[in-house]
Chains A and B, each alone.
Chain A
Amino acid sequence: MKRDSTGRRPAADGSAPAEESHLFAGYETRPAYYDEMFEATGMPRVHCRELCDALDRMQPDEIAAMQALAERSFLHQGITFAVYGEEGAQERIIPIDFLPRLLDAADWEVVERGLRQRLEALNLFLADIYGPGRIIADGVVPVDLVRGCPQYRVAMRGLEVPHGVYVALCGTDIVRTHDGFVVLEDNLRVPSGVSYMLANRRALKTSLRNLFRRHHVRGIEHYGQLLRQTLAELAPPGVADPCIVLLTPGVYNSAFYEHMFLAREMGVELVQGSDLLVHNGFVYMRTTTGLRRVDVIYRRVDDDFIDPLAFRAESQLGTPGLFYAYRLGNVTIANAPGTGVADDKSVYAYVPDMIRYYLGEEPVLANVETHLCREPEGLAFTLDNLDTLVVKMVGESGGYGMLIGPHATPAERAAYAEQIRKDPANFISQPVLDLSVAPCLTADGASPRHVDLRPFVLRGSETRLVPGAFCRVALVEGSLVVNSSQGGGGKDLWVLSS
């Protein structure tokens, strides 16, 4: 930790330390983690200098007041999510941290290139495993890993999808360490968070207008338009002006706000399973003027619940016969059923191999070193090193069912080890990553907190993404868990145009 003789970070221009009332006066850089704003010397990174100076001139109280106002406005507008299993917490906001995270053009270029490459390989993988199965025959990915995955849908075998696109929308979690960007996981089923990305941008743009303008931040507001364009491209062949709908499980779903928001941004109907019906192999929605044919369904409902006839029979959320219409090619479902097999935490370990296999390229974005407990060596390694590893259940997301070894008590580790031994295939382990930190506003001024980012990639007839991401923050000091359901917050990510 580099500090001056008074123990405080030097001012941006290297002059005398800032006054205590200034935002970054007590900010301590931590060499163990990559700091998004400051170099190890405590000086702001080149692309952050102007922001750092401007913020430093503001009073922390002033920023805190803007932040509180934005959060109140989120609550009033209902920009909320629900945490399952928490009584009385039906509607909570994702707290926003008002200190933006900056990414310069070169960094973004790497992220973007890596994401495009990854999504292309993942789509080719899905087309392959539901088609000829070359990657399995060639022994690159083990057959039992794919076919034994609970997310593998036999019903999808041999089915052709428009443009070969299984994953039309993907939200990839990326973190940064001293070694560069690393992909934590690919969310290929129903990734969420894009509405918070846009809401955070709107809030910051309003409150820090001049600062925003001076930074030449690249725009992300056209996401809704791109999403609609992408979905339209995936319509069944021969449909010129497709009717697109967004299928939601309903108001009690944790991400309902986002479903509503996206439907409005795209200008499409927000439907529930009961609004749709299947007749003669086509999907229709009930409108006040009669039945209207639906061509593309952007579903925010898990595979299991989209059609009680094809998947989980007791589901009340879906539409009977929907999968039948899909198989006939009369409707497009995005993302396609069965994409979950490619974001399974065990299959994740093979994504770099998929990139090499299908594209003949080296992966731009690295994976986290992953030990599969389904393999004897991986299991032994995991059990021997529980105190230093992060262990995750393969089918879980949202930070549920996870053990962070160094932060767990011996009793917790022992109980978890027991679970692993009972069903090894259900677990993977990874080293604890030194996630980068970014300054966040706390009661003591700005303090470093761990962050990640989730950009959203779209794939229709071509790949598109807006230069931005939902940047998640672990608001609790020292915590590595950024998930909203686990007390994480959000930040606006400013991708600079030059």
Chain B
Amino acid sequence: MLSRNAEGLYWIGRYLERARHGCRLISDQLATMEDRPVEEIDQGWRRLYQAMHRTPLGGFLAAGDEDEEFMLADAYTMADDLTFEPGNPDSIRNCLATARENARQVRNILGVRMWSCLNLAYLDVRDVGIETIWNDQPDAFYLRTEDAIRTFTGIAVSSMYRDDGWHFLWLGWFVERTQLLAGLVDAHLAQYPTAAQHSESDWRALLRICEAHVAYRHLHSHSHRPGRMLDFLVADPLLAHSVRHALARVTEALDAVSSGRSLAVEAGRRAGRMASAIDHDWPNRDPDDDAATRAALQGVRNACLLLHEDIAATYFRYEIEDAP
């Protein structure tokens, strides 16, 4: 497959997963505004911004600003910033626009239905603003956008030819998911000095964002065990939105596209090391030492950045001398 096409598909995967994750975070945060105390809502926004490595344009609420009207105005501004702000490269609208730009480049291999689905999702987001969705039902907007992305993946699964293009789409998708999940759990832990200080609803919100609440309840009933929840989100290989599962998919995709080159081997090894660190080191960490847990999660994030460099240098932008 042409390197530029592979790179285009890889970035489509990354940006769509980023947009989907953003929708999920924001819609859950807006839902908490219905019945949670102001302080908890404020914590939610902080976690969200930290997970996205961004600072709100007007800063966070200062202590004593916990006035309900102010909080609502603040939520409006922050949702706008994360969804439509032109200067925010990771805003949902920008993510969809970038995914679509990449899709335009590879339309000849994408198929009409996949393109149409992505194009329509983008046009829907392009044509509205925060005023429109706020006056209507903001939840419905995020749900609709997330569903459009899921439809795209559904069409991909049911129609794409399983060549390198397919593998690069999912490679991007799951490298992004690994990085986002590690960042989210890290941001969650950063809100309080120890994991135990979080409220139960805070943890449940995290499970919901990661679409893990039903599976967790099924496995562990309603028991509130922060350590167990953390293990579930990071290390459970069967949970679609766990770090470990995402890494397994990264390794799978890398194995499929690897062509025996030294750099290709390096990318595979790096992903393998990340997976084995979760399999072997994670259970042995001190569960009460949040600093160590956070360091492990940050290690995953950093390794993802390096993995991305390996992939780009091996498959997308290699020099003549490095060509096999």
What residues on B are CB-neighbors of A288 within 8 Å?
1-3, 6, 164, 168, 257, 259, 315
Other A-B pairs beyond A287-B2, A288-B6, 12, CB < 8 Å: A76-B116, A77-B116, A78-B115, A251-B101, A251-B104, A260-B107, A272-B4, A279-B320, A286-B323, A287-B1, A288-B164, A288-B257
Query: In the complex, which residues 178-207 of chain B have their Cβ closer than 8 Å to any Cβ of chain A?
Result: none
Q: Which residues of A contact B (CB under 8 A)?
A: 76-78, 250-251, 256, 260-261, 263-264, 269-272, 274-275, 277, 279, 285-291
- Asked whether any CB of chain A lies closer than 8 Å to the CB of B105, the reply is yes
Distance between A148 CB and nearest chain B CB, rounded to angstroms: 39
Q: Is the CB of A274 within 8 A of B4?
A: yes
Distance between B240 CB and nearest chain A CB, rounded to angstroms: 26
The 7 closest A-B pairs by CB, nearest first: A290-B324, A264-B108, A286-B3, A263-B108, A260-B108, A291-B323, A288-B315
What residues on A are CB-neighbors of B6 within 8 Å?
288
What residues on B are CB-neighbors of A291 within 8 Å?
320, 323
Query: In the complex, which residues 310-324 of chain B have their Cβ closer than 8 Å to any Cβ of chain A?
Result: 315, 318, 320, 323-324
Distance between B68 CB and nearest chain A CB, rounded to angstroms: 41
Query: In the complex, which residues 215-274 of chain B have their Cβ closer than 8 Å to any Cβ of chain A?
Result: 257, 259
- Asked whether any CB of chain A lies closer than 8 Å to the CB of B63, the reply is no
- What is the CA–CA distance of A290 and B6 in the complex, to the nearest angstrom? 12
What residues on A are CB-neighbors of B315 within 8 Å?
288
What residues on A are CB-neighbors of B1 within 8 Å?
287-289
Q: Is the CB of B324 within 8 A of A286?
A: no
What residues on B are CB-neighbors of A270 within 8 Å?
2, 108
Query: In the complex, which residues 79-122 of chain B have their Cβ closer than 8 Å to any Cβ of chain A?
Result: 101, 104-105, 107-109, 112, 115-116, 119-120
Q: Is the CB of B323 within 8 A of A290?
A: yes
What residues on A are CB-neighbors of B3 within 8 Å?
275, 286-288
Distance between A98 CB and nearest chain B CB, rounded to angstroms: 21
- What is the CA–CA distance of A251 and B104 in the complex, to the nearest angstrom? 7
- What is the CA–CA distance of A288 and B3 in the complex, to the nearest angstrom? 5
- What is the CA–CA distance of A296 and B1 in the complex, to the nearest angstrom? 17
Among residues of B, the one whose C-beta sits closest to the C-beta of A278 is B320
What residues on B are CB-neighbors of A285 within 8 Å?
2
- What is the CA–CA distance of A261 and B115 in the complex, to the nearest angstrom? 13
What residues on A are CB-neighbors of B4 within 8 Å?
271-272, 274-275, 286
Q: Is the CB of B112 within 8 A of A77?
A: yes
Among residues of A, the one whose C-beta sits closest to the C-beta of B5 is A269
Q: Is the CB of A277 within 8 A of B107?
A: no
Q: Is the CB of A77 within 8 A of B2?
A: no
Among residues of A, the one whose C-beta sits closest to the C-beta of B318 is A286
**Given A279-B320, A288-B1; A261-B164 close (CB under 8 Å):** no
What residues on A are CB-neighbors of B109 within 8 Å?
264
**Given A271-B2, A275-B3, A287-B2; A78-B107 close (CB under 8 Å):** yes
Q: Is the CB of B108 within 8 A of A289?
A: no
What residues on B are CB-neighbors of A77 within 8 Å?
112, 115-116, 119
Query: Can you list 23 A-B pairs with a CB-CB distance of less than 8 A?
Result: A77-B112, A77-B116, A77-B119, A78-B107, A251-B101, A251-B104, A251-B105, A260-B108, A263-B108, A269-B2, A270-B2, A270-B108, A274-B4, A286-B4, A286-B323, A287-B2, A288-B3, A288-B259, A288-B315, A289-B324, A290-B259, A290-B323, A290-B324
Distance between B7 CB and nearest chain A CB, rounded to angstroms: 9
What residues on A are CB-neighbors of B324 within 8 Å?
289-290
Distance between A336 CB and nearest chain B CB, rounded to angstroms: 24
Q: Is the CB of B108 within 8 A of A261?
A: yes
Distance between A354 CB and nearest chain B CB, rounded to angstroms: 37
Q: Is the CB of B2 within 8 A of A275?
A: yes
Residue among B108, B115, B315, B324 having the largest count of chain A Cβ atoms under 10 Å: B108
Distance between A388 CB and nearest chain B CB, rounded to angstroms: 45
Distance between A293 CB and nearest chain B CB, rounded to angstroms: 12
Distance between A45 CB and nearest chain B CB, rounded to angstroms: 37
Distance between A132 CB and nearest chain B CB, rounded to angstroms: 40
Among residues of B, the one whose C-beta sits closest to the C-beta of A261 is B108
What residues on A are CB-neighbors of B108 within 8 Å?
260-261, 263-264, 270
Q: Is the CB of B119 within 8 A of A78?
A: yes
- What is the CA–CA distance of A286 and B316 in the complex, to the nearest angstrom? 8
- What is the CA–CA distance of A256 and B164 in the complex, to the nearest angstrom? 24
What residues on A are CB-neighbors of B168 within 8 Å?
288
Query: In the complex, which residues 142-172 of chain B have their Cβ closer than 8 Å to any Cβ of chain A?
Result: 164, 168
Among residues of A, the one whose C-beta sits closest to the C-beta of B322 is A290
Among residues of A, the one whose C-beta sits closest to the C-beta of B320 is A279
Among residues of B, the one whose C-beta sits closest to the C-beta of A256 is B104
What residues on B are CB-neighbors of A263 within 8 Å?
108
